[in-house]
Amino acid sequence: MPIHMAATVKLVNHCHQSLSSGNGNRLRRRVTASFNEATINDGDKRSNKSTRLAKSISNLLNLYIEKPSLNNLLQRNDWNAVAQAEAKLDLPTMSPKEDISRIWREIHGGSDWENLLDPLHPLLRREIIKYGEFAQATYDAFDFDSFSEYCGSCLFNRRKLFEKLGLGKHGYEVRRYIYAMSQYEIPRWLEKSYVADTWSKDSNWMGYVAVSDDVESKRIGRRDIVVAWRGTVLPSEWYGDMQQDLEPLGHGEAKVERGFLSIYKSKRVTTRYNKTSASDQVMEELKRLLKFYKEKGEQVSLTITGHSLGGALAKLNAYEASILFPTLPINVISFGSPRVGNIAFRDELHHKGVKTLRITIKQDLVPRMPGIVFNETLQKFDDLTGTLDWVYHHVGAELKLDARASPFLKRGSNFIGIHHPETYLHLVDGYVSTTSTFRTDAKRDVALVNKYCDMLVNELRIPPCWYQLSNKGLVSNEFGRWVRPKRENEDIPSPIGEEHSEL
Protein backbone atom coordinates (compact mmCIF):
# COMPACT_ATOMS: atom_id res chain seq x y z
CA MET A 1 0.00 0.00 0.00
CA PRO A 2 1.23 3.54 -0.67
CA ILE A 3 3.16 5.32 2.05
CA HIS A 4 1.38 8.14 3.85
CA MET A 5 2.83 10.45 6.40
CA ALA A 6 2.16 9.21 9.94
CA ALA A 7 -1.50 8.46 9.24
CA THR A 8 -4.17 8.34 6.57
CA VAL A 9 -7.89 8.66 7.11
CA LYS A 10 -10.22 6.86 4.74
CA LEU A 11 -13.99 6.93 4.87
CA VAL A 12 -15.69 4.13 3.01
CA ASN A 13 -17.98 4.86 0.08
CA HIS A 14 -21.29 3.15 0.81
CA CYS A 15 -23.11 3.74 -2.47
CA HIS A 16 -22.36 0.43 -4.26
CA GLN A 17 -25.21 -1.97 -4.98
CA SER A 18 -24.71 -5.71 -4.41
CA LEU A 19 -25.30 -8.32 -7.09
CA SER A 20 -26.33 -11.94 -6.65
CA SER A 21 -23.52 -14.47 -7.00
CA GLY A 22 -25.16 -15.84 -10.14
CA ASN A 23 -25.19 -12.46 -11.88
CA GLY A 24 -21.65 -11.83 -10.67
CA ASN A 25 -20.43 -15.09 -12.20
CA ARG A 26 -22.11 -14.34 -15.54
CA LEU A 27 -20.66 -10.84 -15.53
CA ARG A 28 -17.17 -12.14 -14.75
CA ARG A 29 -17.44 -14.55 -17.70
CA ARG A 30 -18.44 -11.70 -20.02
CA VAL A 31 -15.58 -9.51 -18.81
CA THR A 32 -13.08 -12.36 -19.25
CA ALA A 33 -14.33 -13.04 -22.78
CA SER A 34 -14.06 -9.36 -23.72
CA PHE A 35 -10.55 -9.12 -22.31
CA ASN A 36 -9.39 -12.24 -24.18
CA GLU A 37 -10.92 -11.01 -27.44
CA ALA A 38 -9.21 -7.63 -27.11
CA THR A 39 -5.88 -9.32 -26.46
CA ILE A 40 -6.11 -11.40 -29.62
CA ASN A 41 -7.14 -8.51 -31.86
CA ASP A 42 -4.84 -5.76 -33.07
CA GLY A 43 -4.00 -3.11 -30.47
CA ASP A 44 -5.89 -0.41 -32.41
CA LYS A 45 -9.08 -2.44 -32.09
CA ARG A 46 -9.00 -2.83 -28.33
CA SER A 47 -12.19 -1.83 -26.58
CA ASN A 48 -12.25 1.04 -24.13
CA LYS A 49 -13.38 -1.38 -21.44
CA SER A 50 -10.31 -3.56 -21.91
CA THR A 51 -8.03 -0.54 -21.81
CA ARG A 52 -9.63 0.65 -18.58
CA LEU A 53 -9.30 -2.84 -17.13
CA ALA A 54 -5.60 -2.97 -17.96
CA LYS A 55 -5.05 0.43 -16.37
CA SER A 56 -7.01 -0.62 -13.30
CA ILE A 57 -4.88 -3.74 -12.87
CA SER A 58 -1.76 -1.59 -13.15
CA ASN A 59 -3.12 0.76 -10.50
CA LEU A 60 -3.94 -2.18 -8.25
CA LEU A 61 -0.43 -3.61 -8.48
CA ASN A 62 0.99 -0.14 -7.88
CA LEU A 63 -0.69 -0.06 -4.46
CA TYR A 64 1.70 -2.72 -3.18
CA ILE A 65 4.90 -1.04 -4.40
CA GLU A 66 6.65 0.90 -1.65
CA LYS A 67 7.42 4.50 -2.52
CA PRO A 68 9.70 6.92 -0.70
CA SER A 69 7.98 9.54 1.41
CA LEU A 70 8.27 13.17 0.38
CA ASN A 71 9.65 14.01 3.80
CA ASN A 72 12.54 11.57 3.82
CA LEU A 73 10.46 8.62 4.99
CA LEU A 74 9.20 10.30 8.15
CA GLN A 75 12.49 11.44 9.60
CA ARG A 76 13.05 10.74 13.27
CA ASN A 77 12.98 13.81 15.43
CA ASP A 78 16.27 15.43 16.34
CA TRP A 79 15.45 15.27 20.02
CA ASN A 80 16.98 12.44 21.98
CA ALA A 81 14.57 9.58 22.65
CA VAL A 82 16.42 8.50 25.78
CA ALA A 83 16.38 11.99 27.26
CA GLN A 84 12.67 12.32 26.51
CA ALA A 85 11.90 8.99 28.13
CA GLU A 86 13.91 9.85 31.24
CA ALA A 87 12.23 13.25 31.52
CA LYS A 88 8.85 11.54 31.83
CA LEU A 89 9.77 9.09 34.59
CA ASP A 90 8.38 11.35 37.31
CA LEU A 91 5.27 12.41 35.37
CA PRO A 92 1.80 10.78 35.39
CA THR A 93 0.95 8.43 32.51
CA MET A 94 -2.31 10.18 31.71
CA SER A 95 -3.65 13.71 31.83
CA PRO A 96 -6.71 14.64 33.96
CA LYS A 97 -10.02 13.42 32.58
CA GLU A 98 -12.19 15.95 30.79
CA ASP A 99 -15.97 16.07 30.56
CA ILE A 100 -17.17 14.92 27.12
CA SER A 101 -20.86 14.62 27.98
CA ARG A 102 -21.87 17.34 25.48
CA ILE A 103 -19.96 15.88 22.54
CA TRP A 104 -20.11 12.17 23.27
CA ARG A 105 -22.02 11.36 20.09
CA GLU A 106 -19.27 12.90 17.93
CA ILE A 107 -16.60 11.04 19.93
CA HIS A 108 -18.68 7.88 19.55
CA GLY A 109 -18.69 8.25 15.76
CA GLY A 110 -22.02 9.99 15.19
CA SER A 111 -20.55 11.87 12.21
CA ASP A 112 -18.10 9.12 11.21
CA TRP A 113 -15.37 11.07 13.06
CA GLU A 114 -15.35 13.76 10.40
CA ASN A 115 -12.73 16.43 11.21
CA LEU A 116 -11.66 14.52 14.34
CA LEU A 117 -8.99 12.22 12.91
CA ASP A 118 -6.61 14.52 11.04
CA PRO A 119 -5.59 16.16 13.27
CA LEU A 120 -6.59 13.69 15.96
CA HIS A 121 -8.81 15.37 18.53
CA PRO A 122 -7.21 15.06 22.02
CA LEU A 123 -10.48 13.93 23.60
CA LEU A 124 -10.93 11.26 20.96
CA ARG A 125 -7.33 10.12 21.49
CA ARG A 126 -8.05 9.54 25.17
CA GLU A 127 -11.15 7.48 24.42
CA ILE A 128 -9.36 5.39 21.79
CA ILE A 129 -6.61 4.59 24.29
CA LYS A 130 -9.16 3.73 26.97
CA TYR A 131 -10.88 1.18 24.75
CA GLY A 132 -7.52 -0.07 23.50
CA GLU A 133 -6.48 -0.78 27.08
CA PHE A 134 -9.71 -2.74 27.55
CA ALA A 135 -8.69 -4.84 24.55
CA GLN A 136 -5.13 -5.20 25.89
CA ALA A 137 -6.54 -6.53 29.16
CA THR A 138 -7.77 -9.65 27.37
CA TYR A 139 -4.12 -10.57 26.75
CA ASP A 140 -2.68 -9.46 30.09
CA ALA A 141 -5.12 -11.61 32.08
CA PHE A 142 -5.03 -14.67 29.81
CA ASP A 143 -3.40 -17.85 31.12
CA PHE A 144 -0.83 -18.61 28.42
CA ASP A 145 1.00 -21.25 30.46
CA SER A 146 0.72 -24.49 28.53
CA PHE A 147 1.61 -26.44 31.70
CA SER A 148 -1.16 -24.81 33.72
CA GLU A 149 -4.24 -26.86 34.52
CA TYR A 150 -6.21 -23.70 33.72
CA CYS A 151 -4.47 -22.86 30.45
CA GLY A 152 -6.83 -20.89 28.22
CA SER A 153 -8.79 -19.29 31.06
CA CYS A 154 -8.60 -15.87 32.71
CA LEU A 155 -6.12 -15.58 35.58
CA PHE A 156 -8.55 -13.61 37.73
CA ASN A 157 -12.24 -13.57 38.45
CA ARG A 158 -14.20 -10.72 36.91
CA ARG A 159 -14.46 -8.74 40.18
CA LYS A 160 -10.67 -8.51 40.41
CA LEU A 161 -9.78 -8.12 36.72
CA PHE A 162 -9.50 -4.33 36.45
CA GLU A 163 -7.97 -4.02 39.91
CA LYS A 164 -5.20 -6.51 39.07
CA LEU A 165 -4.48 -4.84 35.72
CA GLY A 166 -4.57 -1.25 36.98
CA LEU A 167 -7.63 -0.34 34.92
CA GLY A 168 -9.81 0.79 37.78
CA LYS A 169 -8.90 4.35 36.77
CA HIS A 170 -11.28 4.09 33.80
CA GLY A 171 -14.39 3.71 35.95
CA TYR A 172 -15.89 0.50 34.54
CA GLU A 173 -17.05 -2.73 36.19
CA VAL A 174 -16.85 -6.17 34.55
CA ARG A 175 -20.24 -7.85 34.47
CA ARG A 176 -19.65 -11.08 32.55
CA TYR A 177 -16.88 -13.16 30.97
CA ILE A 178 -17.16 -14.52 27.43
CA TYR A 179 -15.96 -17.97 26.35
CA ALA A 180 -15.57 -19.23 22.80
CA MET A 181 -14.46 -22.21 20.77
CA SER A 182 -13.98 -23.22 17.16
CA GLN A 183 -16.12 -25.91 15.57
CA TYR A 184 -13.26 -27.24 13.47
CA GLU A 185 -11.73 -30.57 14.36
CA ILE A 186 -8.00 -29.94 14.76
CA PRO A 187 -4.95 -32.20 15.08
CA ARG A 188 -3.78 -33.14 18.60
CA TRP A 189 -0.59 -31.10 18.24
CA LEU A 190 -2.63 -27.92 17.81
CA GLU A 191 -4.27 -28.20 21.22
CA LYS A 192 -3.38 -25.42 23.63
CA SER A 193 -2.19 -27.37 26.67
CA TYR A 194 0.52 -29.94 27.33
CA VAL A 195 -1.63 -31.24 30.19
CA ALA A 196 -4.28 -33.77 29.17
CA ASP A 197 -6.52 -33.02 32.14
CA THR A 198 -6.97 -29.30 31.64
CA TRP A 199 -9.87 -27.13 32.82
CA SER A 200 -11.60 -27.24 29.43
CA LYS A 201 -10.63 -28.93 26.18
CA ASP A 202 -13.01 -26.80 24.15
CA SER A 203 -13.49 -23.36 25.65
CA ASN A 204 -11.17 -20.39 25.83
CA TRP A 205 -11.66 -17.09 27.59
CA MET A 206 -12.34 -14.58 24.81
CA GLY A 207 -13.24 -11.38 26.62
CA TYR A 208 -15.79 -9.70 28.81
CA VAL A 209 -18.71 -7.31 29.11
CA ALA A 210 -18.21 -4.21 31.30
CA VAL A 211 -20.30 -1.16 32.20
CA SER A 212 -19.31 2.39 33.14
CA ASP A 213 -19.95 3.34 36.77
CA ASP A 214 -21.94 6.39 37.84
CA VAL A 215 -18.96 8.77 37.90
CA GLU A 216 -17.66 7.76 34.49
CA SER A 217 -21.18 7.74 33.03
CA LYS A 218 -21.63 11.35 34.10
CA ARG A 219 -18.29 12.33 32.51
CA ILE A 220 -19.00 10.64 29.17
CA GLY A 221 -22.68 11.59 29.01
CA ARG A 222 -24.31 8.15 29.00
CA ARG A 223 -24.13 4.66 30.47
CA ASP A 224 -21.55 2.90 28.31
CA ILE A 225 -21.59 -0.87 27.85
CA VAL A 226 -18.27 -2.23 26.61
CA VAL A 227 -17.61 -5.60 25.02
CA ALA A 228 -13.90 -6.41 24.71
CA TRP A 229 -12.74 -9.32 22.52
CA ARG A 230 -9.37 -11.06 22.71
CA GLY A 231 -7.19 -11.53 19.68
CA THR A 232 -5.54 -14.71 18.46
CA VAL A 233 -3.06 -16.33 20.81
CA LEU A 234 -3.86 -20.03 20.50
CA PRO A 235 -2.87 -22.34 17.64
CA SER A 236 -6.44 -23.62 17.29
CA GLU A 237 -7.65 -20.06 16.71
CA TRP A 238 -5.00 -19.51 14.04
CA TYR A 239 -6.31 -22.66 12.40
CA GLY A 240 -9.78 -21.16 12.46
CA ASP A 241 -8.53 -17.81 11.19
CA MET A 242 -7.06 -19.46 8.11
CA GLN A 243 -10.44 -20.72 6.86
CA GLN A 244 -10.70 -17.91 4.34
CA ASP A 245 -13.92 -18.95 2.62
CA LEU A 246 -16.76 -16.45 2.77
CA GLU A 247 -19.92 -17.81 4.34
CA PRO A 248 -23.44 -16.32 4.21
CA LEU A 249 -24.48 -14.38 7.29
CA GLY A 250 -28.23 -14.55 7.72
CA HIS A 251 -30.61 -14.47 4.76
CA GLY A 252 -29.21 -11.48 2.85
CA GLU A 253 -26.17 -11.12 0.61
CA ALA A 254 -23.76 -10.39 3.46
CA LYS A 255 -20.95 -12.93 3.77
CA VAL A 256 -18.17 -13.20 6.34
CA GLU A 257 -15.00 -15.22 6.80
CA ARG A 258 -15.87 -18.74 7.91
CA GLY A 259 -13.26 -19.09 10.66
CA PHE A 260 -14.30 -15.87 12.41
CA LEU A 261 -17.96 -16.85 12.27
CA SER A 262 -17.18 -20.28 13.69
CA ILE A 263 -15.42 -18.84 16.74
CA TYR A 264 -18.30 -16.40 17.29
CA LYS A 265 -21.15 -18.89 16.82
CA SER A 266 -19.83 -22.35 17.79
CA LYS A 267 -21.17 -24.28 20.77
CA ARG A 268 -21.10 -27.86 21.97
CA VAL A 269 -23.35 -29.54 24.53
CA THR A 270 -20.50 -31.63 25.95
CA THR A 271 -18.32 -28.69 26.98
CA ARG A 272 -18.52 -26.81 30.29
CA TYR A 273 -18.84 -23.31 28.87
CA ASN A 274 -19.88 -23.35 25.25
CA LYS A 275 -23.23 -25.00 25.64
CA THR A 276 -24.11 -21.52 24.46
CA SER A 277 -21.95 -19.72 21.92
CA ALA A 278 -19.96 -16.55 22.49
CA SER A 279 -22.67 -14.82 20.49
CA ASP A 280 -25.41 -16.13 22.81
CA GLN A 281 -23.47 -15.21 25.95
CA VAL A 282 -22.94 -11.62 24.84
CA MET A 283 -26.44 -11.03 23.54
CA GLU A 284 -28.01 -12.44 26.70
CA GLU A 285 -25.97 -10.04 28.83
CA LEU A 286 -26.70 -7.07 26.57
CA LYS A 287 -30.44 -7.73 26.76
CA ARG A 288 -30.26 -7.87 30.54
CA LEU A 289 -28.20 -4.68 30.90
CA LEU A 290 -30.21 -2.66 28.39
CA LYS A 291 -33.48 -3.63 30.04
CA PHE A 292 -32.16 -2.59 33.45
CA TYR A 293 -30.73 0.80 32.46
CA LYS A 294 -33.53 1.78 30.11
CA GLU A 295 -36.08 1.07 32.83
CA LYS A 296 -34.10 3.59 34.90
CA GLY A 297 -34.48 6.10 32.06
CA GLU A 298 -30.77 6.23 31.27
CA GLN A 299 -29.20 6.87 27.90
CA VAL A 300 -27.09 3.87 26.91
CA SER A 301 -24.42 3.24 24.27
CA LEU A 302 -22.60 0.10 23.17
CA THR A 303 -18.86 0.22 22.42
CA ILE A 304 -17.24 -2.96 21.10
CA THR A 305 -13.47 -3.22 20.94
CA GLY A 306 -10.86 -5.79 20.08
CA HIS A 307 -7.42 -6.32 18.59
CA SER A 308 -6.60 -8.57 15.62
CA LEU A 309 -9.08 -11.49 15.70
CA GLY A 310 -10.83 -9.57 18.46
CA GLY A 311 -11.50 -6.74 16.00
CA ALA A 312 -13.13 -9.21 13.61
CA LEU A 313 -15.32 -10.65 16.37
CA ALA A 314 -16.23 -7.09 17.40
CA LYS A 315 -17.71 -6.43 13.96
CA LEU A 316 -19.72 -9.65 14.02
CA ASN A 317 -20.93 -8.69 17.49
CA ALA A 318 -21.91 -5.21 16.25
CA TYR A 319 -23.80 -6.65 13.29
CA GLU A 320 -25.88 -8.92 15.52
CA ALA A 321 -26.48 -6.22 18.14
CA SER A 322 -27.66 -3.77 15.47
CA ILE A 323 -30.39 -6.22 14.47
CA LEU A 324 -31.64 -6.88 18.00
CA PHE A 325 -31.26 -3.28 19.24
CA PRO A 326 -31.88 -1.06 16.18
CA THR A 327 -32.07 2.22 18.15
CA LEU A 328 -28.97 1.63 20.28
CA PRO A 329 -25.89 3.75 19.38
CA ILE A 330 -23.27 1.14 18.46
CA ASN A 331 -19.60 1.89 17.91
CA VAL A 332 -16.68 -0.42 17.07
CA ILE A 333 -13.08 0.60 17.78
CA SER A 334 -10.72 -2.05 16.46
CA PHE A 335 -6.93 -2.32 16.43
CA GLY A 336 -5.08 -4.24 13.71
CA SER A 337 -8.26 -5.95 12.58
CA PRO A 338 -8.32 -8.13 9.46
CA ARG A 339 -11.08 -7.86 6.88
CA VAL A 340 -14.21 -9.70 7.94
CA GLY A 341 -16.71 -9.86 5.10
CA ASN A 342 -17.78 -8.76 1.64
CA ILE A 343 -19.18 -5.44 0.42
CA ALA A 344 -22.73 -6.45 1.37
CA PHE A 345 -21.59 -7.00 4.96
CA ARG A 346 -19.97 -3.57 4.95
CA ASP A 347 -23.07 -1.93 3.51
CA GLU A 348 -25.42 -3.61 5.95
CA LEU A 349 -23.35 -2.41 8.92
CA HIS A 350 -23.47 1.10 7.47
CA HIS A 351 -27.22 1.06 6.87
CA LYS A 352 -27.85 -0.27 10.37
CA GLY A 353 -26.03 2.76 11.76
CA VAL A 354 -23.00 0.95 13.19
CA LYS A 355 -20.01 3.32 13.44
CA THR A 356 -16.65 1.64 12.94
CA LEU A 357 -13.19 3.11 13.48
CA ARG A 358 -10.28 0.95 12.38
CA ILE A 359 -6.89 1.83 13.80
CA THR A 360 -4.18 0.30 11.62
CA ILE A 361 -0.40 0.52 11.27
CA LYS A 362 0.97 0.84 7.78
CA GLN A 363 3.60 -1.88 8.33
CA ASP A 364 1.14 -4.33 9.93
CA LEU A 365 0.27 -7.21 7.62
CA VAL A 366 -2.85 -8.44 9.46
CA PRO A 367 -5.18 -5.63 8.28
CA ARG A 368 -4.31 -6.61 4.70
CA MET A 369 -5.78 -10.08 5.21
CA PRO A 370 -7.78 -11.93 4.12
CA GLY A 371 -7.97 -10.71 0.56
CA ILE A 372 -4.43 -9.39 0.09
CA VAL A 373 -5.08 -8.90 -3.63
CA PHE A 374 -8.82 -9.36 -4.10
CA ASN A 375 -10.19 -6.65 -1.85
CA GLU A 376 -11.91 -3.24 -1.90
CA THR A 377 -9.31 -1.83 -4.31
CA LEU A 378 -11.12 -3.72 -7.09
CA GLN A 379 -13.78 -1.02 -6.86
CA LYS A 380 -11.57 0.91 -9.25
CA PHE A 381 -13.13 -1.01 -12.11
CA ASP A 382 -16.61 -1.75 -10.79
CA ASP A 383 -17.97 -0.38 -14.06
CA LEU A 384 -16.45 -3.41 -15.78
CA THR A 385 -16.97 -6.17 -13.26
CA GLY A 386 -19.95 -5.03 -11.23
CA THR A 387 -20.00 -5.60 -7.49
CA LEU A 388 -18.06 -8.75 -6.61
CA ASP A 389 -19.70 -10.46 -3.65
CA TRP A 390 -16.77 -12.86 -3.24
CA VAL A 391 -14.29 -10.05 -2.53
CA TYR A 392 -13.32 -8.92 1.01
CA HIS A 393 -13.97 -5.32 2.07
CA HIS A 394 -12.87 -3.29 5.06
CA VAL A 395 -15.52 -1.48 7.09
CA GLY A 396 -15.79 2.11 8.30
CA ALA A 397 -13.30 4.93 8.88
CA GLU A 398 -9.58 4.31 9.14
CA LEU A 399 -6.90 5.96 11.22
CA LYS A 400 -3.64 4.77 9.73
CA LEU A 401 -0.45 5.12 11.75
CA ASP A 402 3.18 4.66 10.77
CA ALA A 403 5.63 2.83 13.03
CA ARG A 404 8.49 4.99 11.69
CA ALA A 405 6.90 8.09 13.18
CA SER A 406 8.02 7.11 16.69
CA PRO A 407 11.64 7.82 17.68
CA PHE A 408 11.34 5.14 20.37
CA LEU A 409 10.76 2.20 18.00
CA LYS A 410 13.40 0.18 16.21
CA ARG A 411 13.57 0.25 12.45
CA GLY A 412 13.23 -3.01 10.58
CA SER A 413 10.64 -5.65 9.80
CA ASN A 414 9.50 -6.86 13.20
CA PHE A 415 6.07 -7.87 11.99
CA ILE A 416 5.11 -9.53 15.28
CA GLY A 417 6.08 -6.51 17.36
CA ILE A 418 4.37 -4.09 15.00
CA HIS A 419 1.11 -6.01 15.35
CA HIS A 420 1.05 -5.99 19.16
CA PRO A 421 -1.70 -3.85 20.73
CA GLU A 422 0.77 -1.96 22.94
CA THR A 423 2.57 -0.79 19.79
CA TYR A 424 -0.76 0.48 18.52
CA LEU A 425 -1.51 2.35 21.74
CA HIS A 426 1.97 3.89 21.76
CA LEU A 427 1.51 5.22 18.23
CA VAL A 428 -2.01 6.52 18.93
CA ASP A 429 -0.67 8.34 21.98
CA GLY A 430 2.01 10.06 19.92
CA TYR A 431 0.00 10.76 16.78
CA VAL A 432 -1.11 14.32 16.01
CA SER A 433 -1.75 14.54 12.27
CA THR A 434 -0.48 13.42 8.89
CA THR A 435 1.82 16.45 8.75
CA SER A 436 3.12 16.39 12.34
CA THR A 437 5.91 14.50 14.06
CA PHE A 438 5.44 12.26 17.08
CA ARG A 439 4.25 14.47 19.91
CA THR A 440 6.78 15.08 22.66
CA ASP A 441 4.13 15.35 25.38
CA ALA A 442 2.74 11.83 24.85
CA LYS A 443 1.70 10.42 28.22
CA ARG A 444 1.74 6.60 28.08
CA ASP A 445 4.69 4.74 29.52
CA VAL A 446 6.99 3.83 26.64
CA ALA A 447 8.14 0.67 28.45
CA LEU A 448 4.73 -0.91 27.83
CA VAL A 449 5.64 -1.41 24.17
CA ASN A 450 8.08 -4.19 25.09
CA LYS A 451 5.58 -6.18 27.13
CA TYR A 452 5.48 -9.07 24.66
CA CYS A 453 8.00 -8.08 21.99
CA ASP A 454 11.27 -6.29 21.25
CA MET A 455 10.28 -3.04 19.56
CA LEU A 456 12.00 -0.34 21.62
CA VAL A 457 15.43 0.99 20.71
CA ASN A 458 18.18 -0.63 22.77
CA GLU A 459 19.29 2.74 24.16
CA LEU A 460 16.18 2.80 26.35
CA ARG A 461 17.41 -0.36 28.12
CA ILE A 462 13.93 -1.87 28.37
CA PRO A 463 14.20 -5.68 28.19
CA PRO A 464 12.03 -7.41 25.59
CA CYS A 465 9.04 -9.52 26.61
CA TRP A 466 9.29 -8.38 30.23
CA TYR A 467 5.63 -8.96 31.10
CA GLN A 468 5.65 -12.41 32.66
CA LEU A 469 5.04 -14.26 35.91
CA SER A 470 7.93 -14.22 38.35
CA ASN A 471 9.91 -17.47 38.12
CA LYS A 472 7.49 -18.52 35.37
CA GLY A 473 4.78 -19.03 37.95
CA LEU A 474 6.66 -21.32 40.32
CA VAL A 475 6.86 -20.50 44.04
CA SER A 476 8.92 -21.88 46.89
CA ASN A 477 6.77 -23.77 49.40
CA GLU A 478 7.37 -24.12 53.15
CA PHE A 479 9.89 -26.89 52.54
CA GLY A 480 11.87 -24.90 50.01
CA ARG A 481 10.61 -26.88 47.03
CA TRP A 482 9.61 -25.06 43.87
CA VAL A 483 6.03 -25.87 43.03
CA ARG A 484 3.17 -24.55 40.94
CA PRO A 485 0.82 -22.63 43.25
CA LYS A 486 -2.87 -23.37 43.44
CA ARG A 487 -5.23 -20.63 42.35
CA GLU A 488 -7.43 -19.00 44.92
CA ASN A 489 -10.88 -20.58 44.83
CA GLU A 490 -12.48 -17.40 43.52
CA ASP A 491 -10.09 -17.36 40.53
CA ILE A 492 -10.73 -20.94 39.44
CA PRO A 493 -12.94 -20.93 36.33
CA SER A 494 -16.34 -22.33 37.18
CA PRO A 495 -19.53 -22.43 35.10
CA ILE A 496 -21.48 -21.43 38.20
CA GLY A 497 -19.13 -18.64 39.21
CA GLU A 498 -19.19 -17.07 35.76
CA GLU A 499 -22.85 -16.09 35.86
CA HIS A 500 -23.51 -12.39 35.41
CA SER A 501 -23.38 -10.06 38.38
CA GLU A 502 -26.35 -8.64 40.18
CA LEU A 503 -27.31 -5.13 39.13
pLDDT digits (tens, 9 = 90+) for 173-229: 999 999 998 665 544 433 555 554 556 667 889 999 999 999 999 999 999 999 999
What is each CA distance from 237 to 135, 186, 204, in whole angstroms? Answer: 17, 10, 10
* Residue of 145, 224, 347, 364 with catalytic role: 364
Beta carbons of 112 and 490 less than 8 angstroms apart: no
Helices 122-140 + 421-430 axis angle, to 10:
170
Contacts of 441 (CB under 8 A, 6+ apart): none
> Is residue 364 annotated as a catalytic residue, yes or no?
yes
Domains, the chain, in order of start with CATH, read 9-491 (3.40.50.1820)
* Residue of 50, 308, 334, 337 with catalytic role: 308
What is each CA distance from 41 to 28, 49, 269, 374, 485, in whole angstroms? Answer: 20, 14, 62, 28, 77
The span from the CA of 241 to the CA of 239, in Å, is 5
Does residue 385 carry a pLDDT above 50? no
Contacts of 18 (CB under 8 A, 6+ apart): 253, 343, 344, 347, 387, 389
pTM here is 0.80
The span from the CA of 503 to the CA of 501, in Å, is 6
Judged by average pLDDT, the poorest of 27-41, 138-152, 288-302, 437-451 is 27-41
The span from the CA of 155 to the CA of 230, in Å, is 14
> Is residue 251 annotated as a catalytic residue, yes or no?
no
Strand pairing report for 223-229 and 204-212: antiparallel
Write the single-letter amino acid at 315.
K
pLDDT in tens, 260-282: 898 899 888 877 777 899 999 99
pLDDT in tens, 127-157: 999 999 999 999 999 998 878 888 889 999 9
Which residue spans within 105-168 are E strands per DSSP? Answer: none
Strand pairing report for 397-401 and 482-483: unpaired
Better pLDDT: 428 or 490: 428
* Residue of 350, 419, 420, 426 with catalytic role: 419
The candidate with the shortest Cα–Cα distance to 346, out of 428, 448, 249, is: 249
> Is residue 16 annotated as a catalytic residue, yes or no?
no
Beta carbons of 345 and 255 less than 8 angstroms apart: yes
Q: Helix or strand or coil: residue 413? A: coil
